[in-house]
Structure 1
Amino acid sequence: MAEKPPRNSAIGPNGTTRTIREPVARRVWVAAGGRCTFCNRWLLDEEHTGEPVFIGQLAHIVGWDTTKGSPRGSDSMDVHDRNEADNLILICYDQHRVIDSKSLWDVYSADRLRDFKRQHEHRIKKLTELAHRDSTTVLRLVGTIHGSPVQLSQSAVNEALVSVGQHPSYALIGTDEYEIDLRKLPGEKEDAPFHWNAAVEYIRDRLRRLGALVADGTVVNIAIFPLARIPILIALGALLDDTVPAVVYPKRRGGKEAWGWPAGGRDQGFEWSVLDSGSDAPKQATVLFSVSGSIEKDRIPAEATDVARIYEIRPAGATPNFDLVDTPASVDLFSRCWRAVIADIETFPDVTAVNVIAAVPTTVAVAIGRSVNASVHASVRVYDRVEHHANYTFTLELPR
């Protein structure tokens, strides 16, 4: 089918049309990026057949005349200005029927439609002005948290990256909706050993493709959006290649799905201490990470405390809480503290296992894994809790 030129006619609620000057119509189509101002639907192809048919419509914010049946037509805007670009929005036919429905004229007021138009066109402009050098490869990891599958939308990822001047690239995406999707792996709620082992191997397999793209120069920056149990996040950090700059984005607390660091965050430092020195030649070390909450020692199994040197990492001058780590610098300060603990552990040559028990946010969990050199350090064993009031149990050993 031959491609038709962009439609330059506006359609009224009763199906009548009015011709819009070609330069005006072109300006509205370009400013909207060929997408519906409301639902972001691509309007240059028929969605079922893929044929190049223009399915978008130019809609008037203020109706084109002042008659009683003209949507928002009673507005004070001069009639001669109503067919100009500032009063036209690009929209799909479904949404056009909605905003022009008489029962919804108060809901979709002229001011509200102007706001939709302004936001949509601003977003399109910001996305398209990003250069290739500002591209960053998205790595999303989603899992199941205590039996409940989590969601991580592409739109939330895009919004977080565009807000910091980065263009999201989905070079890792394949046939799956997400790059690393662990939600279908069984056994998470029961802490079954096979679940954790399968998760680690699945992450390892998915990261092999990342390694190949790094090697050929396709990937130069990585933006990580993780949402899973703490042991999974620590394992992800251990498996990531340190040769590529990677930034971990936190999920903001609250009802709306939003990612990224909040404005006006405060850098938080950390300190470590030895809670129990153990024997003169301890066989294992146990590290408590009390960041988003305090680790209760009586919930730690004896296997992780017997003949063990026990450490704790806590925020300096602050009580552990969920909102404590709200800047990238805070994560860096945590990593330095954790590496200092690792250095102390290495002074005890008989230590063959390091037990990790962590109450931390996602960004810190990944940082725990990234600070460990599994090929050099002692075996790192990660514990977690099945239910809120349960004791900590062993989940996985960090891959070497």
Structure 2
Amino acid sequence: MVSEVTRYVPDQVQRELWARAAGRCQFEGHNRLLHTSCVTHESVNTAQKAHIYAFSENGPRGRGPYKGNLESLNDVSNLMLMCYDCHKKIDQAGGADRYPADLLIQWKAQHEQRVEIVTGIASDKKSNVVLYGANIGSEKSPIQYHACVEAMFPQWYPATERPVPVSMTSELIDSSPQYWQTESQHLLKAFQRKILSIIEDEPCKHFSVFALAPQPLLIQLGALLTDKIDVETYQLHREPKGWVWQDCADDFDYIINQPDNFNGKPALIVSLSDHVSPERITRVIGEDTSIWEITLKNPHNDFMQAKQQLSLFRKYLRSLIVEIKRAHGEATPLHIFPVMPVSCAIEFGRARMPKADMPWLIYDHDMETQEFIKAIELKGDLHGVQSK
């Protein structure tokens, strides 16, 4: 039986292998085009068909599940398209330990998934994946790109193979005096450099936003995006873990609480993730305060599960901002105390009308003092962002 098995790979399998790999080396991180010379750029086939499980009985990684099915060794599922150097690397002495079959299978699957994603997108389904993560207290906020892409399907697909990172790696924490100035200015410059360039120069102008950052910065990000740009905002859920939107109860609703009078400084509490007592507000901006609030019957961290909830939040918020402006005047600064999910914070900023709304003074909860501190001021257009 062994003597009847050859290294010959049928043309149909070769075509499928090339198509799955998009003519690129499937070694993780290489991705080199294999139909063009990297020196002269002339058309030339530099590809090799690398076996995951070995064709030879004593080859690297052995024959694994193909021991009793040798005729399947040349199936596309057991082959990777690779350049000569990468093929040699995985098969050299010690290669089986460094590049086991499970790892190569994983690389193959991820590479082919990327190809399928990028090449299978309808023009009206493309979206630029924006990742924004700043430091939250002493915690870092990494965002996994593949988990984000999974949450987009099947409504949206990445416009390109790579995301648009609008993050920074500042070692500052959000209680330090320099934090808000550094992060706010970085966000503004990164937005202008990376996102505005896409809006101005690229055919796809839709954005899918995945973010984990302090709420004043999320509001600023939303204000930069505005509601004039096509944006899909996502929320990271604790249960079930991930960014995929779930369903919510039909009787879900928000509660609006108005102040007894409109004579004081206007303050808006967004108490969706937790209760916020009025005393915490008056300790910061004084007793002469008119407190507005948007809240829930039972505020908690995990309530935001469905897109319908976020849409309803936008509806309530826009009406509320107009009502507050009507009561206090558009020149009066509005003090904002956000305790809400990531997606709400971004959409809060997007609801802002730069030329029509009151100046916004946005506060953040300081972990050291357990009090609210003034963080960011929004006024005017995109360039009217100031940190306090």
Deviations 1:129-162 (A, max 9, x none): 1133332223332322224443335444444445
Q: 1:73 to 1:171 in 2, by over 3 A?
A: closer
Which segment drifts farther, 156-165 or 230-239?
156-165
Deviation at residue 325 of structure 1 after TM alignment: 0.9
Q: 1:68 to 1:347 in 2, by over 3 A?
A: closer
Which segment drifts farther, 360-369 or 85-94?
85-94
Aligned partners of 2:223 and 2:349 also within 8 Å: yes
Deviation at residue 225 of structure 1 after TM alignment: 2.2
User: Is residue 2:328 matched to residue 1:334?
Assistant: no
The structure in which a higher percent of residues are helix is 2
What's the counterpart of residue 69 of structure 2? 78
Q: Name which of 338, 348, 351 aligns with 1:368.
A: 348
Question: How much identity, in percent, do the aligned residues show?
Answer: 21
Aligned partners of 2:53 and 2:63 also within 8 Å: yes
Q: Please report the TM-score for the alignment, with normalisation by the length of structure 2.
A: 0.76
In structure 2, give the amino acid aligned to 1:246. V
Q: Name which of 358, 369, 388 aligns with 1:378.
A: 358
What's the counterpart of residue 250 of structure 1? 235
Q: Summarize the alignment of residues 307-326 of structure 1 with structure 2, pairs less than 5 Å apart.
A: 307-315=288-296, 317=297, 319-326=298-305
Return the alpha-carbon distance in structure 1 between the equivalents of residues 112 and 202 of structure 2: 32
Secondary structure of 1:323's counterpart equals coil
Gaps in structure 2 of 5+ consecutive residues? 1-5, 381-388
Aligned partners of 1:162 and 1:168 also within 8 Å: no
Deviation at residue 378 of structure 1 after TM alignment: 2.4
State the superposition RMSD in angstroms: 4.0
Count of residue pairs brought into register by the alignment: 365
Q: 1:127 to 1:271 in 2, by over 3 A?
A: same
Deviations 1:369-399 (A, max 9, x none): 1222243232211111121771111112113
User: Is residue 2:273 matched to residue 1:289?
Assistant: no
Q: Summarize the alignment of residues 1-400 of structure 1 with structure 2, pairs less than 5 Å apart.
A: 18-35=7-24, 39=28, 41-44=30-33, 57-64=48-55, 71-72=62-63, 75=66, 77-90=68-81, 92-93=86-87, 96-97=90-91, 108=101, 121-169=112-160, 178=165, 180-184=166-170, 188-192=173-177, 195-209=179-193, 210-211=195-196, 213-215=198-200, 218-253=203-238, 258=242, 260-266=243-249, 268-274=252-258, 276-277=259-260, 280-315=261-296, 317=297, 319-349=298-328, 352-387=332-367, 390-400=370-380
Secondary structure of 1:96's counterpart equals helix
Return the alpha-carbon distance in structure 2 between the equivalents of residues 104 and 201 of structure 1: 44
Deviations 1:211-254 (A, max 9, x none): 46435663431222222211011111122232221111223438
Secondary structure of 2:22's counterpart equals coil
Deviation at residue 272 of structure 1 after TM alignment: 1.0
Gaps in structure 1 of 5+ consecutive residues? 1-16
Deviations 1:269-317 (A, max 9, x none): 211113x42xx442311121111222244433524352211122112x4
Return the alpha-carbon distance in structure 2 between the equivalents of residues 238 and 69 of structure 1: 55
Return the alpha-carbon distance in structure 2 between the equivalents of residues 221 and 66 of structure 1: 52
Q: 1:155 to 1:57 in 2, by over 3 A?
A: farther
In structure 1, give the amino acid aligned to 2:336. V
